[in-house]
Chain A
Amino acid sequence: MPIKGFSLIGKSRMHLGLAGASLLSLSLITGAAIGQGPGNVQSFRNSAGILRTFSNTGVIDRTGPFFTPLGQAFPITCEHCHFASEAWGISAAHAAQLFNSTGGTHPLFTAPTGSDVLAAQIPANVATLAQKQTMYNLMINKGLALVRRTFNPVTADFIVLGVKPPAGFAVGLSPTMIPAPDGSGMMIDGSWYLSYTASSNGGTPQIWTYRRPIPTTNMRFVTTAAWDGQDTRQFPDPIRRPTTAGIFDIAKATIKGRQTGPSLIAADGHVYSDAEQSALAHQLTDFMFSTTTGQDYDTLAGPLNANGASSGISSITNLNYYYGINDVLEGDLMVVPSPNPPGVQEIYSGSPFTGNVFNVYDGWNGNGNAARASIARGQALFNQTSRMTIDDVNGIQGYNRTIGVVAGGSTGLGLTGTTLTLPDSRVVPGLTGPVPGPQAGCVTCHDGPNVGNHSTRLAINIGVADVVPVTSSNNTNVNFNNSGLPTFYLQNKATGEIVQITDPGRATVSGKWSHIGQFKGPVLHGLVNRSPFFHSGAAKNLDAVIDFYSIRFNANFTAQEHIDLVNFLKSL
């Protein structure tokens, strides 16, 4: 009996063990399902409520390279353009505050962020506060940092005829000046400009533009790394060129371009090897992919995941997202391995594009709380697919949009037919869903479900880079203007056509005439924290953004609709 009993107890133990293991498994599975809750968060108050960042590594390690000066040449760190409190970007108001409170000595105001990286390194050019204000005027006024892009004038479709530069450019020098072709005065000769920029790049010409730093968070939703698609755009295949690779390239280029300069001298005095740069770039990339950020609490509406809503940081962290999800052009697509030839291919899930891009506030429709109801109405407006007249948009339409010149008429989106040639030159089947048509809406370009960027690498020109954008009132509109930006005069080598634009955008990278002024659409989470908006900081606030879209695409939002849309965008 004792033996039997022992045996019985032994088996019971085994069953108990199994039962316990089952409970443990259930616990772990359930925990994972609930998981990724904001147990480890950074929270920041802002004008709309509270912004939170969740780190999937548990802690945000401020001893890492993102927060550390990596070179001797310039004391700036990644954080100086990417503050956690501003959704890992920087507001122009913060840039101005940093300049004013430090007399321009903050590391943000070092040569790589100025109007001219060469001129800013000459002490005599930035000796006084007024000179510094001039050199860094675009960062102070619009939160814009210098972006230097290698440009091949031989292979490009166009030549750079001339440039009217921003204040601070080539200060102290005597550039060759020629008359601007539109009779608007003098401009720097394009050959001189390219020769000058080449002197900072080992003899290879560059085009210098000025853009808003892109948030270094929510990277798993990002389909195009830089505004102009540099680093990811060259490779249309998203698997062969994943966003991680693009971010890695940007990180590695930043180590040299913004922190060490060409010398590559580290903060401790040694010269970085390529392997060291790569190791640091990997750390930076991993860090940027480790965080998720979004608005979590609205001052008037309360928690953004309460009372039927499902937004907020926990929801954002758990969002289902993949490259090509709900694409407006192709329908929902997935990327799968391709055995022959080896690589990958895109396949279509069969699900058509849906305009219900955002649904996190469905539960607040008609809510008794006025703020919640307003956010829900704003979401519904954002989702409308028949509110705007999408016209004259280079990148999704069958004709080129150029500045002041529209070749062709409003022929619709040109998306029907058996095949469709995408901006990447990929030829894909025609639409799987309803044709968005000229009558479309916000979600036509912001199709990423509950994210709001574009789920493929669609770069478009909607006119934000125009020298005088549609709502800028000759750049005298204090809430929407491109004042202070350079004007590039570009001439088509084949046709002789000349256009002017403040930033060539994707054309800088590709050299293609048809890509002039094209930019990506960013992830919308944490939007309220990082004014001004658009790549050029043209829109001072979200009101100006809505005004632009209302006029540009003939939406004619009412005053109440305007408020609702702004409240919705603030809640993301």
Chain B
Amino acid sequence: MNSIRMLFTTTVLCLIASASQAQITISLTPSTTMPIVPGSSISWSGTLTNTGASDLFINGDQILVNPSDPFTIDDTPLLTPVQLFPLTAGSSYTGLLFTLTAPSFILNKNYTGSLTLLGGTDTFTTNPIGTQNFSFRAVPEPGATGLLVGVALTGAGIMLRRRKK
């Protein structure tokens, strides 16, 4: 249900963004599905290019992750550079954009996300002016895997000893 809702919302945001005359294209790095272990972080850098004819103020953003497990996202690097306030017509900005931190415990699975820039030609407008998707995959922490195997082997050992008695 969340996937459908997110897909729908992302599609709507993309459509709105594409319908807008003011556009910022986003190139994210890394662009591939990145692995993330519990408790660690991934940072995405990128290049934002204002392809429109007007200066654009990036007044905000929306970052969605699906499924919405308790990740922490820090998009401060995207909202503090003076070069993005405004990003002048035809210019580009390259730098760190946001960092995602995984919780200490998380299941192995694939995640998708989207970054939508909100802004416009003044400091008040918050229309979608650029969207880019990203993805990552949660992978087990070596220590956690070891712990799991350890617990299993300990359990098996106890069972074997009981059998022998």
Residues of A within 8 A of B (CB): 4, 8, 11-12, 15-16, 18-20, 23-24, 26-27, 30-32, 34-45, 50, 58-63, 83-85, 93-94, 97-98, 101, 297, 299, 303, 314
Q: How far is the CA of A34 from the CA of B126 in the complex (A)?
A: 30
Q: How far is the CA of A4 from the CA of B9 in the complex (A)?
A: 56
Q: Which of A20, A34, A45, A314 contacts B148 (CB 8 A)?
A: A20
Instruction: Count A/B pairs, Cβ under 8 Å.
Output: 131
The reply to whether A38 and B72 form a contact with Cβ atoms under 8 Å apart is: yes
The reply to whether A39 and B65 form a contact with Cβ atoms under 8 Å apart is: yes
The reply to whether B155 and A19 form a contact with Cβ atoms under 8 Å apart is: yes
A34 cross-chain contacts in B, Cβ below 8 A: 70, 103-104
B9 cross-chain contacts in A, Cβ below 8 A: 59, 61-63
Q: How far is the CA of A43 from the CA of B79 in the complex (A)?
A: 8
Between-chain CB contacts (< 8 Å), 28 pairs? A8-B159, A11-B159, A15-B152, A15-B156, A19-B152, A19-B155, A27-B106, A30-B104, A31-B69, A35-B103, A38-B72, A39-B69, A39-B73, A42-B61, A43-B63, A44-B60, A50-B76, A58-B5, A58-B68, A62-B12, A63-B8, A63-B9, A84-B126, A85-B59, A85-B124, A85-B126, A101-B122, A299-B80
B124 cross-chain contacts in A, Cβ below 8 A: 83, 85, 93-94, 97-98
Q: Is B151 an interface residue (CB 8 A)?
A: yes
The reply to whether A12 and B60 form a contact with Cβ atoms under 8 Å apart is: no
Given A23-B148, A23-B151, A31 and B64 touching (CB < 8 A)?
no
B62 cross-chain contacts in A, Cβ below 8 A: 41-43, 60
The reply to whether A40 and B70 form a contact with Cβ atoms under 8 Å apart is: no
Min Cβ gap B60→A in Å is 4
Q: Is B71 an interface residue (CB 8 A)?
A: yes
The reply to whether A43 and B106 form a contact with Cβ atoms under 8 Å apart is: no
Min Cβ gap A62→B in Å is 7
Min Cβ gap A248→B in Å is 23
Q: How far is the CA of A33 from the CA of B9 in the complex (A)?
A: 28
Q: Is B24 an interface residue (CB 8 A)?
A: no
The reply to whether B70 and A35 form a contact with Cβ atoms under 8 Å apart is: yes
Q: Which of A23, A36, A50, A63 contacts B70 (CB 8 A)?
A: A36
Chain B, Cβ-Cβ closest to A44: B60
The reply to whether B163 and A40 form a contact with Cβ atoms under 8 Å apart is: no
Chain A, Cβ-Cβ closest to B126: A85
Chain B, Cβ-Cβ closest to A96: B124
Q: How far is the CA of A161 from the CA of B127 in the complex (A)?
A: 47
Q: Which residues in chain B, 51-107, are within 8 Å of chain A measured between CB atoms?
A: 58-66, 68-76, 79-80, 85, 103-107
The reply to whether A59 and B61 form a contact with Cβ atoms under 8 Å apart is: no
Chain A, Cβ-Cβ closest to B78: A43
A-B residue pairs, 3 tightest by C-beta? A27-B105, A44-B60, A15-B155
Q: Assuming A23-B148, A303-B76, what are 19 further A-B pairs, CB within 8 angstroms?
A: A8-B163, A12-B156, A18-B155, A19-B151, A20-B148, A34-B103, A37-B71, A39-B72, A41-B62, A41-B73, A42-B62, A43-B62, A43-B79, A58-B64, A58-B66, A61-B9, A62-B9, A93-B124, A97-B124
The reply to whether A59 and B126 form a contact with Cβ atoms under 8 Å apart is: no
A83 cross-chain contacts in B, Cβ below 8 A: 124, 126
The reply to whether B152 and A16 form a contact with Cβ atoms under 8 Å apart is: yes
Per-residue CB contact flags for chain B residues 138-165 toward chain A (1 = under 8 Å, else 0) read: 0000000001100110011001100100
Q: Which of A39, A43, A61, A101 contacts B60 (CB 8 A)?
A: A43
B80 cross-chain contacts in A, Cβ below 8 A: 45, 50, 299
Q: Which of A4, A45, A58, A314 contacts B6 (CB 8 A)?
A: A58
B32 cross-chain contacts in A, Cβ below 8 A: none
B2 cross-chain contacts in A, Cβ below 8 A: 58
A314 cross-chain contacts in B, Cβ below 8 A: 72
Q: Is B118 an interface residue (CB 8 A)?
A: yes
Min Cβ gap A369→B in Å is 16
